[in-house]
Amino acid sequence: MNAYTYNRTCRCPRCRMHGLMGPAVLITLGILFLLDQFFVLRFHDSFPVLLIVIGLVLYLGRTASMDGHLEPYPPKPPQSAPPPPPGVNPQDQGPEVNR
């Protein structure tokens, strides 16, 4: 299984959820301050709603489907050992033994 890497050009559900934290927090704060101004619910009593919204957005972002996900860059090929310097025979490089 490959690790997930966010790609702004990808349209999979997980990549689309990546940018929703800011708007969700801003809208929630606006609603909470509006309720405070109309004396419906005081802000210091309602701020846990903000924590719930943040947790909900994080949960939905982490559990969203990756169907159709596009990696932002091609995967790296496996690295092989570098070639020996010219004029050195690789079979001659065994452990040195003092006799």
Using DSSP's 3-state secondary structure scheme, residue 91 falls into helix
pLDDT of residue 59: 92
Residue 94 has pLDDT above 60, yes or no: no
Q: What is the pLDDT of residue 41?
A: 82
> What is the C-alpha end-to-end distance of the chain, expressed in Å?
51
* Its pTM surpasses 0.85: no
Please say whether the beta carbons of 18 and 61 come within 8 A: yes
pLDDT tens-digit map of 27-80: 999 999 999 898 888 888 888 999 999 999 999 888 887 777 777 777 677 777
Q: What is the pLDDT of residue 92?
A: 61
